[in-house]
Amino acid sequence: MFDKKELEKIKQKKDEWVKNTYSEHIKKHPERKKKFENLSWNEIKGLYTPDDISQFDYIKDIGFPGEYPYLRGIHPTKYRGRLWTFRQFSGFGSAEETNKRYKYLLDHGETGLSVAFDYPTLYGYDTDHVMSRGEFGKCGVAISSLKDMEILFNGIPIDKVTTSMTINGPATIVWAFYIANAENRNIDRRIIGGTIQNDILKEYIAQKSFIFPPEPSMRLIVDTFEFGYKEVPRWNTISISGYHIREAGSTAVQELAFTVGDGLEYVKWALKRGLNIDDFAPRLSYFFNAHNDFFEEIAKYRAARRIWAKEMKKLGAKKPRSLLMRFHTQTAGCSLSSQQPEINISRVTLQALAAVIGGTQSLHTNSMDEALALPSEKAARIALRTQQIIAQESGVTDTVDPLGGSYYIEWLTDKMEEETYQYWDKVDKLGGVLSAIEKGFYQREIANASYKYQKEIEEKKRIVVGVNKYQMDEPIEIPILKMDEKGEERQINRLKKIRKDRNNAKFERNLIALRKAAESDENLMPFILDCVHSYATLGETCQVLRDVFGEYVEPAVY
């Protein structure tokens, strides 16, 4: 980008600046800290200049939006054409209560839905299972059957609005509920749009809502890839997620490296099955965190896009759409304070701004009360309004990749990419992704980073406003969401009624067919769809798979 002579001149000028201006200045006005570090413990210099990116080749390394390597974005016009999707992750209590919340959010300008399920649903248990005790509707909505899914989307135009569902272990079954519900409403499965998270690798690594061991889990995921591009072509069959890895305490670099590494692992499994990369790759999507360090987050998204495009090309992808990294972003729940909760609005604004400047396709902004409980209606509305302010008032949407070309951002983007490849070398040496999980490599890396971060907060090397500085001793005065206490009873009665009223002979035939298919290597999606259409519950369907596949128990390391 710079010619040699020009660079020499800049370097010479910089040396003079250090000697004459900078060094003189800090004699009288020393810097606040000896060392400035970002959240991945990379040292950050006080000034970046062209010689920090002296190797860079604009056309090869950066290019243009909508063209390889997609560093500047996947669309030529980005938000000048269409804004990102305002998609608030939401769900609590029963399907009735959550349906009401969805309508409320849509009425207030939300443009996409995102379902949070409760723990029993995430583990493939019905509400009346013994392991569900105490968990009904607590951190998401309880969905135990097709009936619940019908109620959840009652009156919502699922032929128009897209829905993302955070479901992993039993993703095949919950997706089948959604498809079956559309079909019962005479909506063609070929036109419904949305996403299932369906990313089991990060469950073993960080989020921990796994059910089956890795091999059958990977098989189920490849089943969804195949069924998806053939039958539900507008559906994103996976959302490869760094969010939870970050929430578990990883650094930004670890989030980037582990997540894109997982993505490539899925591609390899699908190729092993014999699928054509350009058939399924266009429906792969990503999900990242937006944490506190503003520029680091922006560099992370940019690096992710470039790495993915490069690696997919290496794996043989030809269609441009197979090279595009499309991603959702959520602001960092773990960065919120329970102390002075209102100040979380400011944190969320900055994090969301980083996601937007980084080029996200959809965004969830956290509510201020989430370190205390699930969001109240008002808190959820303010969070949505925060996105709308960024979109409509700030002007950051007027140009594509506004920080592209910044010496600091380009240097940091390169640095994060380089460190990603270093992590991949380590994983390769451990025998690949699954073997690194079994050996506890990721889990240890994350636990170490999270402990180091916590210690730095406790030693006040890092400041968290309201937590270790500027504390106040005042009672917290924000309303906490209260749920319908009758919800659980209603749900259990509904399950009893379903089991009594359905055609039980048909139901049993379908479960037997599923078991047989699970024991073979057939694609399980059609069998699961038959089961849920005959009102087999989540727990009943999942139990068949548990019987055939077994359950995963993780090595408990801390």
Partner 1 sequence: MERKIRVLVAKPGLDGHDRGAKIVARALRDAGMEVIYTGLHQTAEMIVDTAIQEDVDVVGLSLLSGAHMTLFIDVTKLLKEKGMEDVLVVGGGIIPEDDAPKLKKAGIAGVFGPGTHCDDIVEFIKKNVKR
**Longest pairwise C-alpha distance within the chain:** 88
Per CB under 8 A, does 155 bind partner 1? no
Per CB under 8 A, does 133 bind partner 1? yes
Per CB under 8 A, does 258 bind partner 1? no
For partner 1, the closer CB: 388 or 468? 468
How many other CB atoms are there within 10 angstroms of residue 171's CB atom?
Answer: 24
For partner 1, the closer CB: 15 or 458? 458
Contacts of 86 (CB under 8 A, 6+ apart): 109, 110, 111, 112, 362, 363, 384, 387, 388, 391
Candidates 48-56, 218-226, 323-331, 473-481; binding stretch for partner 1 (CB under 8 A): 473-481
Per CB under 8 A, does 345 bind partner 1? no
For partner 1, the closer CB: 522 or 551? 551
Per CB under 8 A, does 356 bind partner 1? no
The count of chain residues that interact with partner 1, using the rule CB under 8 A, is 44
Per CB under 8 A, does 12 bind partner 1? no
* Token digits of residue 19: 């000697």
Per CB under 8 A, does 47 bind partner 1? no
Q: How far is CA 37 from CA 3, 44, 45, 210, 463, in A?
A: 31, 6, 9, 35, 13
Binder of partner 1 out of 52, 128, 226, 247 (CB under 8 A):
247
For partner 1, the closer CB: 18 or 476? 476
In this structure, the strands spanning 85-90 and 163-165 are unpaired
Per CB under 8 A, does 474 bind partner 1? no
Q: What is the Cα gyration radius of the chain?
A: 24
Minimum Å distance from CB 143 to partner 1? Answer: 15
How many other CB atoms are there within 10 angstroms of residue 35's CB atom?
Answer: 8
Per DSSP, 141 falls in state B
Give the integer Cα–Cα distance in Å for 222 and 271: 9
Per CB under 8 A, does 127 bind partner 1? no
For partner 1, the closer CB: 203 or 530? 203
Per CB under 8 A, does 458 bind partner 1? yes
Per DSSP, 473 falls in state -
Give the integer Cα–Cα distance in Å for 308 and 191: 27
Give the integer Cα–Cα distance in Å for 326 and 285: 5
Per CB under 8 A, does 120 bind partner 1? yes
HEC sequence for 397-421? CCCCCCCCCCHHHHHHHHHHHHHHH
For partner 1, the closer CB: 94 or 181? 94
For partner 1, the closer CB: 277 or 478? 478
Minimum Å distance from CB 208 to partner 1? Answer: 3
Minimum Å distance from CB 488 to partner 1? Answer: 11
Give the integer Cα–Cα distance in Å for 261 and 306: 13
Candidates 1-9, 120-128, 316-324, 515-523; binding stretch for partner 1 (CB under 8 A): 120-128
**In contact, 248 and 446? CB cutoff 8 Å:** yes
Give the integer Cα–Cα distance in Å for 296 and 226: 36
- Residues paired with residue 328 on neighbouring β-strands, in sequence order: 287, 362
Per CB under 8 A, does 261 bind partner 1? no
| 3-class secondary structure, 552 | coil
Per CB under 8 A, does 475 bind partner 1? yes
Q: Restricting to residues 536-555, which ones interact with partner 1 according to CB under 8 A?
A: 553-554
Alpha-carbon 466 to chain mean position: 27
Mask: binding to partner 1, 307-336, rule CB under 8 A, as x and -?
A: ---------------------------x-x
Binder of partner 1 out of 62, 83, 115, 122 (CB under 8 A):
122
Residues near partner 1, by CB under 8 A: 119-120, 122-123, 125, 131-135, 138-139, 203, 207-209, 247-249, 334, 336-339, 371-374, 447, 450-451, 454, 458, 464, 466-468, 475-476, 480, 553-554, 556, 558
